[in-house]
Chain A
Amino acid sequence: MGLEKVKHIVLVLSGKGGVGKSSVTTQLALSLSLAGHSVGILDVDLTGPSIPRMLSIETSKVTQVPGGWAPVLVHDAISEENIGSLHAMSLGFLLPNRGDAVVWRGPKKTAMIRQFLKDAFWGPTDFLLIDTPPGTSDEHISLVETLQRDALPGQVAGAVVVTTPQAVATADVRKELNFCAKTNLSVLGVVENMSGFVCPHCSECTDIFGSGGGKVMADEFKVPFLGSVPMDAQFIALIEEGRRPRYPVGTEVAGHDISSKAAEAPDAEDKGSLVDKYKDCSLSHVFKGLTGGLVEKITASGGR
C-alpha cells in the first residue's frame, strides 16, 4: 500500500450527484491545509473527475516513480504561515484528452481503484480525503473493501456525508447513510451544502433548495451534523476563473467582516495560489469552524 504514511483517511460520500462532494472535498482540504495540516485528495470518480478542475491543475500529469505514481503537488507547505502541503491524485490526470469519455464497466473500475490505493505513493500526510462518485455501487464497494482489508487499524477515520437541503436529495443520501451502517463505516458527520443563496444585490437570503433538510436527516439517523454551507457565487468564480473573492462593504460572515479587504484593493490582482485566494472567500470562515470540529472528532476517536 502507498498509504503507510497517511495518518487519517476520510471518505467524502453522497448518494446524490451534484450536491457538492468535490467542492466540499476541495474546501475541506484547503481549510485543513490553512490549519497547518498536510493534506492529500484522492479522486475516485472515474467517469466524471472534477478535482483537477476545482484545483486548477487540469493540465498536470502524474509522474511515475519506481513502483508507482507520485500525486500532483498543488501547493507546498509554508511553515511561516502555518500552511500545510496539498497533493492530489485523480483519473483526470491520466486521460490524454479532457473531453474523452471513460466508458468502463464495473470490474474495470474495481481494478483501477485497487491500483489507485496501492500504487499512489503519498508522502507524510495528516489527512487523505477520498472524493467519490455518487451512488452505492462498484466504486464504493471496492473502496471500502480494499480499505477494510489493507488499511492499518484506526487509519480510516470515517465518512463525511454531503447533502443538499431538498427532500429529493436527502432521499438518496439516506441510502448512503444506510450503506455506511452496513459496511461499518463510521459517519463523522453530515454537511448541508447549497443551503440558501444570498442575493448580491439586496442581501436577501433565498433558500433555493430549501433549508434544514440535512439537520433533520442527521438527527433521524443519530449522526453528527457538521454544519450548513450556503451558496456563494464568489466561490464558484474563484474555482471557475481563479478570481479573488470580493464582497461589498458590510458583508459579514460568522462575525467576521470580510468586505474590508476588497474595499481597500478594488483591483486586487488575481494572482496568488488557490489557498491564498480562498482565505478571502466567505466560505473559508464557514469551513474553518466545520473543519475544527471534524479534526477534533477524528483525533478524539483514537486516531494515531
Chain B
Amino acid sequence: MAPSLEEPEPVEDVLANPLKQKPNLVAPEPEHCPGPESQQAGQADSCAGCPNQAICASAPKGPDPDIPLISARLQDVKHKILVLSGKGGVGKSTFTTLLAHAFATNPDSTVGIMDTDICGPSIPKMMGVEAETIHVSGTGWSPVWVMDNLGVMSVQFMLPNRDDAVIWRGPKKNGLIKQFLKDVEWGEMDFLLVDTPPGTSDEHLSVNSFLKESGIDGAVVVTTPQEVSLLDVRKEIDFCRKAGIRVLGLAENMSGFVCPKCSGESQIFRASTGGGKALAEEMGIPFLGAVPLDPRIGMACDYGESYFDSFPDSPACLAFRKVVRSLAEQMGVDSKDVLPE
C-alpha cells in the first residue's frame, strides 16, 4: 500500500530531522526510500529487503559533520537574509538583486548573493555576469565579483553550456548547496542574501538546516497582490514559522501599473483579498511595502543593469527605498548606514 495521501508527514518531523551525511550506497534508492540521510534510514518499513539497508542502518547518526565547517566559513558574515516565496515568478530574484544593489550603495558594506535556485538560476543574468566562471583557489571557490563590494555565486557559473538543463533530484541539489556554503570563500561580509527557488522543499530545508547554527537574521517574503499568489505565500510563511525562521517582513511586488501614455493606473494583479498588506496583518508579520510594476525593471534585469542606479527617481525605485529602510529597521541596523540618503 502506498503512503496515504490524507496524512502528509508532519512538517515538524521533517524539520526535526535535519540532513545526515549520506552513506555510500550499493544500489539506487527504492521507491519509498525515507532518504539515506534521514533519521529513519535503514529502519523504515520500506527498507526491508533493500540492498542498502545495512549500510544505511550503520551509517553514523547525528548531525552532519560539515555543519561546523559551514559555521566557521560564514562566521565573518554579519547578516544572512533569505529571500523566499512559495510562488514562482513573483520577483524573488529581482528583489534580491535590487536589495543587493541598494546595500552596495554604501561603499563600506560588502554584499554577497547566493543563488540556490539550481534548476532555474536567474541571478547571473540579472547581474550581467552570465558568461563568468568561478575560480578555484587553495582556500575555496571565489565568488564572481560584480562590483568591488558585491559578489555572486550561482550554479549557472558551473554549467559548460548556458542553456543546459540541470536535471537533478533532491539529494544532489542538497549536496551542491552544502558545497556552496562550505567551500565558497565569502570572506568578511556585511550582508549575504540567499535567493531561493519557489516552493517549500529540498532547497529550503537544506538552507535552513545548514545555516541554523551560524544564525539566520530572517527571511524576506515576496508576493504579488493576487490571491493565487498569496495562497502559496501563506504556505511559505507557515513553513518559516514551523522552521523557526524569523520573517523580517512581507514585500509586495507588481502592485499596480501606471500606463506610460495616459498615466492611468491599473491593478493588473488585483488584490481581491486585500493583497500583501492584509496577509501580513493576518499572519502578524511586518509589511515592508509595495513596489509597482515598471517595464524598465524587467528590461534592466534582461540587460544585467542596475535598475536601482539607473532610475533612482522612478516611483518604483522610491517605493523600493522605503522597503529597504523598513527592512533595515527590522534587522536592527541603522537605515542610514544601509542606504545613505
Show the binding face of A for B, using Cβ within 8 Å.
Answer: 15-19, 22, 47-48, 50, 53-54, 69, 91, 94-95, 98-112, 114-115, 118-119, 133-138, 140-141, 164, 166-169, 171-172, 174-179, 182-183, 197, 199-202, 204, 206-210, 231, 233, 236-237, 239-241
Does any Cβ of A come within 8 Å of B49's Cβ? Answer: no
Chain B residue nearest to A133 in the complex (CB): B199
A236 to B228, CA, bound (A): 10
B2, A115: Cβ atoms under 8 Å? yes
A50 to B162, CA, bound (A): 30
Residues of chain B within 8 A of A133, CB atoms compared: 88, 198-199
Flag B224-263 by CB within 8 Å of A: 1 or 0 each: 1011110110111011001000000000000001011110
A23 to B199, CA, bound (A): 18
A171, B122: Cβ atoms under 8 Å? yes
Q: How far is the CB of B142 from chain A (nearest CB, A)?
A: 24
A202 to B83, CA, bound (A): 37
B235, A102: Cβ atoms under 8 Å? yes
Choose, from B25-33, B55-63, B183-191, the stretch at the interface: B25-33
Flag B194-229 by CB within 8 Å of A: 1 or 0 each: 000111111011000000000000000000101111
A50, B170: Cβ atoms under 8 Å? no
A166, B257: Cβ atoms under 8 Å? no
B262, A199: Cβ atoms under 8 Å? yes
Residues of chain B within 8 A of A136, CB atoms compared: 119-120, 165-168
A137, B170: Cβ atoms under 8 Å? yes
Residues of chain A within 8 A of B234, CB atoms compared: 98-99
Question: Given the known A-B contacts A171-B122, A175-B165, are A199 and B201 also in contact in the complex, defined by CB atoms under 8 Å?
Answer: no
Show the binding face of B for A, using Cβ within 8 Å.
Answer: 2-3, 5-6, 8-9, 11, 14-15, 29, 31-35, 86-90, 93, 118-122, 125-126, 130, 162-171, 173, 197-202, 204-205, 224, 226-229, 231-232, 234-236, 238-239, 242, 257, 259-262, 264, 266-270, 272, 293, 295, 298-299, 301-302
Number of A-B contacts (CB under 8 A): 253
A202, B262: Cβ atoms under 8 Å? yes
B32, A107: Cβ atoms under 8 Å? yes
A17 to B264, CA, bound (A): 29
Chain B residue nearest to A91 in the complex (CB): B5
A69 to B201, CA, bound (A): 25
> Of A111, A134, A135, A236, which contacts B2 at CB under 8 A?
A111
Q: How far is the CB of A63 from chain B (nearest CB, A)?
A: 13
A202, B3: Cβ atoms under 8 Å? no
Which 7 pairs between the two chains have the least Cβ-Cβ distance? A17-B88, A18-B89, A106-B170, A201-B264, A135-B119, A172-B120, A202-B262
Q: How far is the CB of B171 from chain A (nearest CB, A)?
A: 7
A141, B167: Cβ atoms under 8 Å? yes
B301, A166: Cβ atoms under 8 Å? yes
Most-contacted residue by chain A among B199, B259, B268 (CB, 10 A): B199
Residues of chain B within 8 A of A104, CB atoms compared: 8-9, 14, 201
Residues of chain B within 8 A of A206, CB atoms compared: 257, 259-261, 295
Chain A residue nearest to B173 in the complex (CB): A137
